[in-house]
């Protein structure tokens, strides 16, 4: 199978036949080899990028125009990639990354991506530490950092810390970056122990083109030790893992992609433009706060140290540091499809009472009756333990679906701006 550099699919796909010939590989990728195979592609990437660049918000400098600066950086990175790991090279690569930190142009982003890959190739303790720090502190680059970590770990699949970053990244990586993460995870000796991680690999596999499915299937086989019928097509093997997962973990949400409610106005696909052009200006954020209040979010969620928050808003997670924890696409998914990823801390229980009545929601202690169930409408049903006939775990979230339906596109943009800007430190709530 041919493996390719995944920096930019469009350009990489224009690989010349002679590059392709030199790059056939049956083993998972080694980035040193990729570098030897496709230096021209990396250069082409920068060249094309530089041709229409804008240098963020910085005023152009007549001596050092944006394009000159990018081309210079690109050449420098090429040289650094070709040289053997030296601490000065690593320092310089990190300095370039920091220098580009506030740049928003596509070209700057691509250069940053290639800096991360170059750091992965260097493979020193300091360079790997930088990748981990980008993963932790620059949420919007988490997938790029994970991809670089997967590259570094491909040759050295031994560090438990890398393994954990790669597993966490399963929530955000897509396409070819996801394939690299899956391949890399498959090289570790450690296997996933949580059903949610296995499910996440199945969910990623459902989004991959057929030719990329083997990477996911191999990892599933290794993690689950379950072997699907060998004569099946790769798609059938994936379906086999879905069925196996349902049987093995009946209490987990089903391993399938979320389905939009019939007739819903706002779907993930329709709102993907909001993600591509996420606002971060103060006016949008302030307007988003108003939308947040009007849409009843604070009925269940706490946020910051807001005075006067209703006392019962503990029905959902604290959103104070949401923007650190989650990428905008994860936030949008969480709002559109609340039951797709359930949070263990807010388990929904269905209680059948002896009189035959049944209620679902979050079960909590109650001062008066002993227990109460708080439903998604915020209403509490109180009862005594002795009244319970049966309790059942539910995998339908207490967070209602369709919360965005009443909002306009502009309001959703503002709400997303506001939510992504929640990057405070969550105070412990007693």
Q: Which two tokens stand for residue 270?
A: 């329709």
- CA dist., res. 166 & res. 142, Å (int): 10
Q: Which of residues 389-408 bind ligand HEC (CB under 6 A)?
A: 397-400, 403
Residue in 329, 289, 311 with CA at minimum distance from that of residue 419: 289
- The smaller minimum CB distance to ligand HEC, of residues 256 and 299, is found at 299
Nearest distance from C-beta of residue 295 to ligand HEC, angstroms: 4
Among residues 300, 336, 412, 426, the one that binds ligand HEC under rule CB under 6 A: 300
- CA dist., res. 278 & res. 260, Å (int): 22
Among residues 195, 295, 369, 371, the one that binds ligand HEC under rule CB under 6 A: 295
What are the residues facing 373 on neighbouring strands? 363, 381
Tally of CB atoms within 10 A around 99: 15
Is there a contact between 37 and 81 (Cβ–Cβ < 8 Å)? no
Show Cβ contacts of residue 90 under 8 Å, excluding neighbours closer than 6 positions. Answer: 119, 122, 124, 126, 127, 130
Nearest distance from C-beta of residue 343 to ligand HEC, angstroms: 4
Question: What one-character DSSP code corresponds to residue 2?
Answer: B
Among residues 49, 228, 316, 323, the one that binds ligand HEC under rule CB under 6 A: 316
Among residues 253, 255, 323, 338, the one that binds ligand HEC under rule CB under 6 A: 338
Contact map string, positions 254 to 293, toward ligand HEC, x by CB under 6 A = ----------------------------------------
Q: Which of residues 366-385 bind ligand HEC (CB under 6 A)?
A: 376
- CA dist., res. 42 & res. 66, Å (int): 19
Does 424 help bind ligand HEC (rule: CB under 6 A)?
no
Among residues 191, 317, 324, 369, the one that binds ligand HEC under rule CB under 6 A: 317
Nearest distance from C-beta of residue 368 to ligand HEC, angstroms: 22
CA-to-CA separations, 33 to 30, 43, 182, 257, in angstroms, rounded:
5, 16, 19, 36
Among residues 210, 251, 296, 389, the one that binds ligand HEC under rule CB under 6 A: 296
Among residues 148, 192, 204, 315, the one that binds ligand HEC under rule CB under 6 A: 315
Show Cβ contacts of residue 144 under 8 Å, excluding neighbours closer than 6 positions. Answer: 112, 113, 116, 134, 177
Q: Which residues bind ligand HEC (CB under 6 A)?
A: 295-297, 299-301, 315-317, 322, 326, 331, 334-335, 338, 342-343, 346, 376, 397-400, 403, 419
């Amino acid at each position: 199978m041919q493996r390719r550099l995944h920096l930019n699919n469009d350009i990489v796909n224009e690989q010349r036949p002679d590059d392709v010939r030199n790059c056939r590989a049956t083993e998972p990728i080694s980035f040193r080899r990729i570098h030897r195979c496709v230096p021209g592609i990396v250069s082409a990437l920068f060249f094309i990028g530089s041709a229409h660049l804008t240098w963020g918000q910085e005023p152009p400098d007549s001596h050092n125009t944006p394009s000159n600066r990018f081309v210079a950086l690109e050449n420098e990175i090429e040289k650094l990639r070709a040289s053997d790991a030296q601490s000065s090279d690593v320092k310089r690569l990190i300095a370039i990354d920091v220098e580009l930190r506030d740049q928003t142009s596509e070209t700057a982003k691509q250069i940053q991506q290639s800096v991360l890959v170059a750091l992965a190739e260097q493979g020193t303790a300091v360079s790997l530490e930088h990748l981990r720090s980008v993963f932790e502190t620059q949420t919007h680059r988490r997938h790029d950092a994970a991809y670089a970590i997967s590259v570094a770990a491909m040759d050295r699949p031994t560090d438990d810390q890398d393994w954990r970053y790669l597993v966490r990244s399963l929530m955000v990586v897509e396409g070819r970056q996801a394939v690299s993460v899956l391949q890399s995870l498959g090289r570790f000796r450690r296997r996933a122990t949580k059903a949610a991680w296995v499910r996440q690999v199945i969910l990623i596999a459902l989004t991959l083109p057929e030719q990329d499915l083997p990477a996911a299937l191999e990892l599933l086989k290794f993690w689950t030790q379950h072997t699907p019928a060998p004569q099946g097509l790769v798609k059938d093997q994936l379906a086999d893992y879905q069925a196996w997962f349902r049987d093995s973990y009946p209490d987990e949400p089903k391993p399938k992609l979320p389905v939009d409610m019939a007739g819903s106005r706002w779907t993930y696909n329709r709102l993907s433009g909001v993600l591509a052009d996420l606002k971060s200006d103060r006016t949008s954020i302030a307007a988003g706060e108003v939308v947040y209040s009007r849409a009843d979010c604070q009925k269940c969620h706490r946020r910051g140290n807001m005075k006067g928050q209703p006392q019962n808003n503990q029905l959902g997670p604290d959103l104070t540091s949401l923007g650190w924890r989650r990428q905008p696409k994860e936030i949008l998914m969480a709002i559109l499809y609340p039951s797709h990823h359930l949070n263990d801390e807010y388990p929904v229980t269905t209680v059948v009472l002896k009189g035959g009545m049944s209620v679902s929601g979050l079960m909590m202690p109650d001062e008066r009756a002993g227990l109460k169930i708080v439903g998604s409408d915020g209403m509490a049903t109180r009862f005594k333990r002795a009244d319970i006939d049966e309790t059942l775990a539910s995998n339908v979230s207490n967070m209602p679906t369709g919360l965005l339906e009443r909002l306009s596109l502009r309001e959703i943009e503002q709400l997303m701006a506001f939510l992504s800007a929640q990057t405070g430190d969550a105070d412990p709530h007693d």
